Each structure stands twice: as C-alpha cells, then as structure tokens.
C-alpha cells in the first residue's frame, strides 16, 4: 500500500489537530466519517487513498504539544470523549516528531504577535523557500512516503496587493532571486516550496497571497495540482445554497446582513482589521455572482473569547416579492469550526492525491464546492458546484487506473 504524507501548515491549530485526531480514530474504527463527502456514493467507488495510508506532519510558528492541544479540543467540543485522545496518544507523540518551526516571513503584525518566534527571521526569500522545501523532503524520505500533499491551515494573513509580477512566473522568480521582501507573504513561500517539491497544494485559508496567478502557472508548468481559496464550512455554505432559491422564485433580495462571532486563535487574528478584511473579501463575494446583481450586503466578524472553537452566524435577509411586498428571512448557524472543516480537509487531501496520480496539473475546478472563493470558477451556486464534482468523478471512474 502506498504511503501518503499530509503536511499541515499551522499544524498545532485547532483544525489541523482535529484533522489528525479524526484520521487516527478513523484508522482504528473508533469514529464515524460523517461530514466527509468522499465516504458517500459515488465517491466511495473511486480509488481514493485510505486513511490507513496517511502519515501526518507539518509546521507551525507557535509552540505547543499535539497531545495537549487534542485533549483541549476534546474537552471543549461536544461529543468527543477525552478517552479517545488517550487511545491515540502514542500516535500523536510520533506525529509530533514530524512538526517543525514554520516561517513567519511578512505575515503581518497580528500573526507575529501571537507566534512563538520573531516575525523577522533575517533569511532571504530563497533561503526561506529552500528551508520549507527541505522540511518537505525530509518528511517524505524519513517516513518512506510515496507522495506528500500540502494543506495551508494557517491564520488569515492581511491582503496582499497583487502586482504585475504576481501574474508572471519569470517576473516572480526575479523578485525572489533579488530578495524583494515585500513581494511575498509566508503563505506564498509555502506554496512555492510545495510546488517545487512536486507536492499537491491546497489553500484552505482566505489569504490571497497563498495562491496567486503566477503560482498557479508554476503548478501547471511543473505538473502539480493546486486549489483554493478559503474553505466553505458555515455561513457562506448556507448562502451558496439559499441564494439560488430567491433567484429561482424571482424574489429580489434587498439586503443580506451577516453577523459572525467566534473564538479561538482564528478569532483573535480576525480581530485585527487588516486580517479581517481578507476574510470578509471571500465571504462577501458570493451573492453578486449568484444573483446577477449586488444587494446591500455586509459581513461582520467579532471575536468573542469565551466561545472557544464555537462560531455563530446570524443572517438577516430582507427581500421583496409580488406587489412590492417586503418580507424577511433569518437563520442562525452554530457549530464547531474545527469539526466542520476537518472532514473537508481529509476529502481535499484524497482528491488532490488522486488528481496528481492521474497526471493532472494546475487548478482543480471540480473542487469548487469546498471553497468560498474557488480560483478559476465563477459558479457560486452550491448545487451546480457539486455537480461539477460528480461529473469529475464519473470521468475518473471511466478512465483506466494509473
């Protein structure tokens, strides 16, 4: 059986640890795969990498212990008995050996303040990239891995103003070789290193510096599948399913206000205005693409420390119907951020490994339903996005096995 490595950027964060914990429990038959699309039909008939073949590693700019973090998550998250964490304690200790210091290069003040290392490392861009590539290679070789999939689960960075060189590989490489330090953020260093190391790459974050056009071009050129941005787990998931209903009934949305409150480190980072704007950009772009017009719409995000890993979204939709009658719909979405995201990450790892095995390169548009802002895909209606995935699966099943 092939061994597949999963390298998690932000490996000590709540989502990453839940991914690792969930995978270990699934291997032992001690948990269910609820929330994983790949464990349903027709996806189960695909030749997807099994949980038993996954080995985990990663990096983080914070310090911490994997077992302690997993235990804290279990204590705070309803439905997880801490005895389950104890049952995989030895495996968690082994995985912790594969977690290394990450880069905090040009990641913004908020992330730097919450990290355990200095924001300014003093290394050049090329040195930062080479160090990440070395970590990936060591992880691959020391664990006897046939493939490594890299997933960015780090904190949301401030928006990166894209320049001409972000749209051209040669120009980007010139910036790197000349150590143009403002040209990249930490997320791009990870992506660049992953692509050069022949590792499929998933950007689950809203950070626009993590997968801009030049990086997509590089992936296409190097035969590496990539996809992002910003995992679709909660409020925006509901938006992408609900907004088409209004359009199909010719009901005009006048206003759509979304109020989000959340805790954990993600909430701390988003409490900073420049980081919050990165998140709002992906959450607020859905409606116009679905409706064909842009109603008054604002997304509000507030940090509430006591919530921990929980997040709550209250949405108020003001719409107009026949004879100008104004009506409204409201919904409240409550959930555990990590429990919503982790099964999607495992799905994406399996799809990315399959795409690489099939010789695919560049963007994976069939994965649009997993992202708030799917690169290269204008379609935002959830049902239609899911049909893109179904079509891909049908084609993959017909193709000869690699």
Question: Residue 321 above 80 pLDDT?
Answer: yes
Residue entry with tokens 């997509």: 216
Digit-coded pLDDT (tens) for 230-279: 999 999 999 999 999 999 999 999 999 999 998 877 777 776 776 777 66
pLDDT band at 381 (very low <50, low <70, confident <90, very high): very high
Digit-coded pLDDT (tens) for 4-15: 999 999 999 999
The predicted structure's pLDDT at residue 114: 60
Q: What are residue 136's phi and psi, to 5 degrees?
A: -65, -45
The predicted structure's pLDDT at residue 115: 59
The β-bridge relationship of strands 99-101 and 54-60 is parallel
Q: What are residue 67's phi and psi, to 5 degrees?
A: -65, -45
Section 216-242 average pLDDT: 96
Digit-coded pLDDT (tens) for 101-141: 998 777 776 666 665 544 456 789 999 999 999 999 999 99
Question: Residue 99 above 60 pLDDT?
Answer: yes
Q: Which of 182-196, 279-293, 333-347 has the lowest mean pLDDT?
A: 279-293
Q: For the stretch 201-227, what's the b/e string if a residue is b when 16 or more beta carbons lie within 10 angstroms of its beta carbon?
A: bbbbbbbbbbbbebbbbbbbeeebbbb
- Provide the terminal-to-terminal Cα distance of the chain, rounded to the nearest Å: 14
The predicted structure's pLDDT at residue 264: 79
The predicted structure's pLDDT at residue 119: 44
Secondary structure of the chain as H, E, C letters: CCCEEEEEECCCCHHHHHHHHHHHHHHCCCCCCCCCHHHCCCHHHCCCCCHHHEEEEEEECCCCCHHHHHHHHHHHCCCCCHHHHHHCHHHHHHHHCCEEECCCCCCCHHHHHHCCCCCCCCCCHHHHHHHHHHHHHHHHHHCCCCEEEEEECCCCCCCCCCCHHHHCHHHHHHHHHCCCCCCCCHHHHHHHHHHHCCCCEEECCCCHHHCCHHHHHHHHHHCCEEEECCECCCHHHHHHHHHHHHHHCCCEEEEEEEEEEECHHHHHHHCCHHHHHHHHHHHCCHHHHHHCCCCEEEEEEEECHHHCCEEEEEEEEEEECHHHCEEEEEEEEEEEHHHHHHHHHHHHHHHHHHHHHCCCCEECHHHHHHECCCCCCCCCCHHHHHHHHHHHHHHHHHCCCC
Residues in the chain: 402
Do residues 363 and 227 lie in contact, with contact meaning Cβ atoms separated by under 8 Å? yes
What are the residue ranges spanned by the domains of the chain?
4-231+339-398, 235-334
Sheet holding 54-60, edge to edge: 99-101, 54-60, 4-9, 147-152, 201-203, 225-228, 362-363
The predicted structure's pLDDT at residue 373: 94
Question: Residue 220 above 70 pLDDT?
Answer: yes
The predicted structure's pLDDT at residue 157: 87
Percentage of residues in the chain having pLDDT higher than 90 = 76
Which residues 6+ apart lie within 8 Å of 41 measured at CB?
none
Cβ-in-10-Å burial (0-12, 13-18, 19+) of 359 comes to exposed
Digit-coded pLDDT (tens) for 361-372: 999 999 999 999
- Which of these, 281, 336, 322, lies nearest to 273 by C-alpha position? 281
pLDDT band at 281 (very low <50, low <70, confident <90, very high): confident
Which residues 6+ apart lie within 8 Å of 248 measured at CB?
none
Section 307-320 average pLDDT: 93
Question: How many C-beta neighbours within 10 Å does residue 228 have?
Answer: 32
- What is the domain class of 235-334 according to CATH? alpha beta
Residue entry with tokens 């003040």: 109
The predicted structure's pLDDT at residue 178: 94
The predicted structure's pLDDT at residue 266: 75
Write down the mean pLDDT value for the chain. Answer: 91
Higher pLDDT, 229 or 182: 229
* Residues paired with 214 in a beta bridge: none
Structure tokens of 266?
């993600």
Do residues 256 and 346 lie in contact, with contact meaning Cβ atoms separated by under 8 Å? no
**52-to-5, 90, 141, 292, 341 alpha-carbon distances in Å:** 11, 16, 18, 45, 20
The predicted structure's pLDDT at residue 219: 98
4-231+339-398 domain in CATH 3.20.20.70? no
The predicted structure's pLDDT at residue 272: 78
């Amino acid at each position: 059986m092939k061994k597949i490595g999963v390298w998690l950027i932000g490996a000590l964060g709540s989502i990453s640890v839940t991914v690792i914990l969930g995978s270990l429990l699934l291997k032992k038959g001690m948990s269910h795969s609820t929330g994983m699309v790949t464990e349903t039909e027709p996806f189960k008939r695909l030749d997807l990498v099994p949980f038993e073949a996954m080995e985990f590693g990663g990096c983080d700019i914070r310090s911490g212990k994997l077992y302690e973090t997993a235990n804290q998550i279990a204590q705070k998250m309803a439905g997880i008995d801490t005895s389950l964490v104890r049952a995989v304690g030895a495996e968690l200790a082994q995985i912790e050996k594969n977690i290394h210091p990450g880069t905090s290069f040009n990641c913004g003040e908020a992330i730097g303040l919450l990290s355990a290392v200095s924001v300014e490392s003093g290394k050049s861009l090329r040195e930062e990239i080479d160090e990440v590539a070395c970590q990936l290679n060591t992880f691959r070789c020391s664990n006897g891995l046939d493939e490594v999939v890299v997933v960015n689960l780090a904190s949301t960075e401030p928006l990166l103003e894209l320049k001409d060189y972000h749209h051209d590989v040669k120009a980007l490489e010139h910036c790197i070789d000349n150590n143009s330090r403002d040209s990249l953020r930490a997320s791009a260093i990870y992506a660049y290193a992953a692509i050069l190391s022949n590792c499929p790459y998933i950007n689950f974050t809203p950070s626009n510096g993590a997968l801009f056009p030049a990086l997509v071009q590089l992936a296409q050129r190097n035969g590496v599948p990539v996809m992002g941005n910003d995992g679709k787990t909660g409020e925006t998931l509901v938006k992408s399913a609900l907004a088409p209903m209004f359009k199909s009934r010719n009901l005009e949305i006048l206003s759509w206000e979304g109020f989000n409150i959340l805790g954990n480190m993600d909430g701390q980072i988003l409490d900073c205005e420049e980081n919050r704007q990165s998140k709002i950009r992906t959450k607020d772009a859905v409606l116009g693409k679905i409706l064909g017009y842009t109603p008054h719409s604002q997304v509000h995000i507030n940090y509430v420390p006591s919530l921990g890993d929980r997040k709550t979204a209250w949405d108020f939709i003001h719409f107009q119907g026949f004879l100008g009658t104004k009506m409204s719909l409201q919904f409240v979405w409550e959930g555990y951020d990590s429990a919503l995201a982790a099964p999607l990450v495992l799905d994406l790892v399996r799809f990315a490994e399959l795409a690489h095995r099939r010789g695919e390169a560049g963007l994976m548009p069939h994965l649009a339903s997993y992202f708030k802002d799917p690169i290269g895909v204008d379609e935002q209606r959830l049902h239609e996005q899911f049909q893109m995935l179904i079509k891909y699966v049908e084609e993959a099943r017909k193709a000869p096995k690699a």
